[in-house]
Amino acid sequence: MASKQASKRLAREYKTISENPPPYISAHPSESNILEWHYVITGPEDTPYFGGQYWGTLIFPTNYPFAPPAIRMHTPSGRFQPSTRLCLSISDFHPRSFNPAWEVSTILIGLLSFMTSEEMTTGSVSATAAERRVFAERTRWWNSTGGGSQSKNPALKGNVKAGDGGAKFRAEWPEVDKENWRWMTEKEIDLSTGLKQKQASCGPGLATAGGSGHQTQAVVEVVDAGTGWLGRNKLLVVGGVIFVYVLIARLLGEGEGTTYS
């Protein structure tokens, strides 16, 4: 249960961030627990996350603001392990470095700044820009469907896994969830895969991990589209050309060595 000081401070910060939200960031406390905050980061332009919708939680300690929150990002991003506590100077990994003057907006701006960098820490992962763009394209689908699942299993405390059918996201972001479903309908998104229904699944793919702490990975298949049989059998063609060349050279050589009377 939140202390009186923590409750008062977080209520004031909610008012501030609602009236003046930082760019690309929305956040609010859960109705049932003021210590549990939910945020959505919209991927900024000129980044691999552009257009992505990244949902996560801040779990504040009862003695906030004298200690920092646990920070998690639930939506697969190619930058962080989903639903894994992140080791940042603004998170509960480093309570001694936390400044009580920092607010929720300060924490989330710091998280966004770290996300768009390449610095590594506990909870972060490596991925290519192309892989991260694939994740960005499927973030709305993942948030509102729980990674394509249909089950309604409750999420574990502090964690949101693929498999809850999007129930937790829907409860915290009902209006955003409705917009996501409209978007998926307009784009003809296959609810089981997150791909367009008419789109072949031979491009970069998204695999969601089943347990917390496991890395969600993008699997990229390189396909030379439109090259046909010749493109798929380059080595065979090259080998055949070399064989014919050698055969002709030998025949010519034998011909030059023959003496006619």
Mean pLDDT of all residues belonging to the chain: 82
- In the chain, which residue ranges form alpha helices assigned H by DSSP? 4-19, 104-115, 129-137, 139-145, 167-172, 174-186, 228-232, 234-256
- Residue range 160-193, pLDDT digits in tens: 656 789 999 999 999 999 999 999 999 999 999 9
Homologous superfamily in CATH for domain 4-219? Ubiquitin Conjugating Enzyme (3.10.110.10)
CA dist., res. 93 & res. 97, Å (int)? 9
pLDDT at 164: 87
Q: Which two tokens stand for residue 165?
A: 């059918």
At 2, which amino acid appears?
A: A
Report, as an integer, the average pLDDT of 65-74: 97
Q: How confident is the model at residue 223 (pLDDT cuts 50, 70, 90)?
A: very low
Q: In what order do the strands lie in the sheet with 25-30?
A: 25-30, 33-42, 53-59, 70-73
Residues ≥6 apart with Cβ < 8 Å to 45 = none
Q: Give the phi and the psi of residue 184 in degrees, each rounded to 5.
A: -65, -35
Beta bridge partners, 205, equal 219
pLDDT at 210: 36
Question: Is 222's pLDDT higher than 60?
Answer: no
pLDDT at 149: 85
Question: Is 36's pLDDT higher than 70?
Answer: yes
Picking from 67-81, 166-180, 226-240, which range would have the lowest pLDDT averaged per residue?
Answer: 226-240
CA dist., res. 82 & res. 214, Å (int)? 8
pTM score, whole prediction: 0.75
pLDDT at 236: 59
CA dist., res. 1 & res. 32, Å (int)? 11
Q: Which two tokens stand for residue 187?
A: 């784009």
Which residues are identified as catalytic? 87
Q: Between these two residues, 37 and 258, which has the higher pLDDT value?
A: 37
- Contact between 69 and 58 under an 8 Å Cβ cutoff? The reply is yes
CB atoms within 10 A of CB 247: 10
pLDDT at 119: 96
pLDDT at 197: 82
pLDDT at 1: 84
Question: Is 124's pLDDT higher than 90?
Answer: yes
Report, as an integer, the average pLDDT of 150-168: 65
236 burial class (0-12, 13-18, 19+ CB within 10 angstroms)?
Answer: exposed
